[in-house]
Amino acid sequence: MELHQGTYRIGGVPALDIARRAGTPVYVYDAAIMERQAQRLKKAFSGTPTRFMYACKALGNVAVLKHMRSLGLGLDTVSIQEAEIGLQAGFTPEEILFTPNMVSFTEYQRAVGLGLHITIDSIPVLERFGHTYGADVPVCIRINPHIMAGGNERISTGHVDSKFGISIHQLRHVERIVATHGLRVEGLHMHTGSDILDTEVFLRAAELLLEMADHFPQLRFLDLGSGFKVPYKPEDIATDVEDLGQRLAERIRAFNAQREVPVELWFEPGKFLVSEAGVLLVSVDLIKQTTATVFAGVDSGLNHLIRPMLYGAHHGIVNVSRPAGKPRIYTVVGYICETDTFAWDRQLPEVQEGDVLAFLNAGAYGFSMASNYNARPRPAEVFVKDGKPLLIRRRETVEDLLALQVEQAL
């Protein structure tokens, strides 16, 4: 979102116009920012064969998925339902990676039936998969490197206590299973978590996977997950993907020079592609002053954007209605019957009832983590593409909430 001549715009369209036409709360996504981020990644890793599989758990609207495919991206899915929606959006099975965790074996069987790339991250599943399919279906194996990354255990997935992946210390056990069942290992996977600043974390992960590569002669790709950090505050720093791309390309080129079959690098970016593209527009319903605090209450809450409450995440907030107003301090809160505080003591241009506020960097894990808590409907979604706002999900109604409630004998 940009402030141009006193008006906040999203993809060139005045944000207030979108709020008036779609109502609030509403998620708004800028297609041009997604394209900018995708092109930045492609350019950064142009020195070596690389595939980017969009992690659709970040934002899974079909219109967004179609846009990602038009940008030349594949799809990373963590449930069979995400994979089925990806197929509906036009992705081919070869373009979809299935990377679940702690799911029933029936999901793997459905993924095999759909022809997806399949990642396995536990010894029991690997054994059962080998017994069931042998060499007929290639697999990717997810390794837990016991690397703490991102600085936050709630979004770090490669540390020793994580439920994700097969411990790197169980490699010998993995080799026995592979040999016993003749498994065809086409990929090695490692994802250490989100908000990684230090490129050395990716380089360490790559070195670990490269050390294992000789144990799997049919290897086609190394998947380093993602975790590229994007800035949420003006002073934030982000992952230097250009430096990472250059350094990894040099290492992979040297590695491939010694192999008959070269390996590709795969990544699963989600937040990096859509976070900055998304804005949540809300309306101010109430200004409430107590003895200690001035609250700005909005028509949304943790049911629509839970990241500040769940992760302590920071989202920039702007007053779209009066950008030039006199600065005052507000605590911005939601309408849920919980402590759903979006921001404490945030300086904003003077806020009045009826103003439209925008939560920035709301494209990733915003709508996709929304709920109907307190029987609140989920918001609409708008996609701004080529300067045109498109409604890509209508606002839910009470009728929608009741539609699946039934009373019948089992």
Active-site option among 102, 237, 337, 375 = 337
Contacts of 96 (CB under 8 A, 6+ apart): 53, 74, 75, 77, 83, 86, 87, 114, 116, 117
Backbone angles phi, psi at 404, to 5 degrees: -95, 0
Neighbouring CB atoms inside 10 A of 315's CB total: 22
State the Cα–Cα distance between residues 379 and 264, nearest whole angstrom: 39
* 331 CA to centre of own chain: 27
User: Is 337 in the active site?
Assistant: yes
Residue 347 burial class via C-beta count within 10 angstroms: exposed 0-12, middle 13-18, buried 19 and up = exposed
With left for phi above 0 and alpha for psi between -120 and 50, is residue 234 left, alpha or beta? Answer: alpha
> Given the structure tokens 């099975």, which residue do they identify?
93
Which active-site residues does the annotation give? 337
